[in-house]
Amino acid sequence: MSDVQTCSLCPRLCRHACPVSVGTGREAATPTAIAGVLVDHARGQVSDELARQAATLCVDCGACQDACHLHQPLPAMLREARDVLLSPSPEPDLPAVPAGVSVLLLIAQSADSLRPTAQVPSDAHVVVCPDRLGVDHDFGSSPALGAVLAAFTGLELYTMDGGIFDVLHRAGLEPKWALDVPPTSVGSCVCALGERPPLACCGARGPLREHHPESAVHLAQAFARRLAPGSVLLDTRCAQHLRNSGCAVDPHGVARQGETA
């Protein structure tokens, strides 16, 4: 039996770990239901469009695999399915690295609200990455990750943005955090801290936001209800997504109070 068939028939269910399933309450968003659609698609029983809808109900956080007693690689299977079902992701517009530079601080925008601390070497060269190295359009095992690896291999990398950290990590690099934020004050998106409790993602990452915008809003609002006032969002992408979803997050990525602004 294939891995995806095993997931489609699993009686244990990892739905409690999936932020999309928990945050939206959609039965179709449970990992078991998604796997079932992909099995039916492989058998020619459902359309490509239905398979696309299923495979994109995902923020690619890996929580389902972490919760799985059999360690099934469902995240990788969904990425492979999206590589087949979706149009190819564009190559990221990678920044140029000046000759002789060995330490980089990669930031999402020139006016990042959170400033680096003394843990960043003084000789770090600051590089602005407006599209966060392609995190918003990197849905699968894209060749773009190979380009990121080639561009930054051998460099000491720091960032204060969770999306950039996510891409660097997925490309096989070892970035370091440029911020020293007390854990009790952090709004722990999975892409920022590597933590995977239920609702660890606000819905800004993965293919969910583009293909299921209403579900991404529901997920943002569910995430916001868990944030204590004063929590800091390390990923500027997440802060913007929460604001766009009507959640109370100020321009500096700090949660105010309540679910909506």
Predicted pLDDT at 101: 93
Predicted pLDDT at 1: 46
Closest CA to 20 of 157, 187, 190: 190
d(CA 178, CA 256) in angstroms, rounded, equals 24
Predicted pLDDT at 76: 87
d(CA 130, CA 248) in angstroms, rounded, equals 24
d(CA 64, CA 198) in angstroms, rounded, equals 10
Predicted pLDDT at 61: 82
Predicted pLDDT at 173: 92
d(CA 99, CA 94) in angstroms, rounded, equals 15
Q: 148 with 167: CB under 8 angstroms?
A: yes
The one-letter amino acid at 189: C
Three-state DSSP class for 84? helix
The residue extents of the domains of the chain are 3-85, 103-177, 184-244
Q: How far is CA 113 from CA 34, 85, 87, 109, 250, in A?
A: 38, 37, 34, 9, 11
- pTM to 2 decimals? 0.79
Q: 178 with 158: CB under 8 angstroms?
A: yes
Predicted pLDDT at 261: 47
pLDDT mean values, one per 10 residues, the chain (261 residues)? 80 84 91 94 95 93 86 88 83 83 87 62 87 69 75 91 82 84 56 60 86 94 82 77 88 61 47
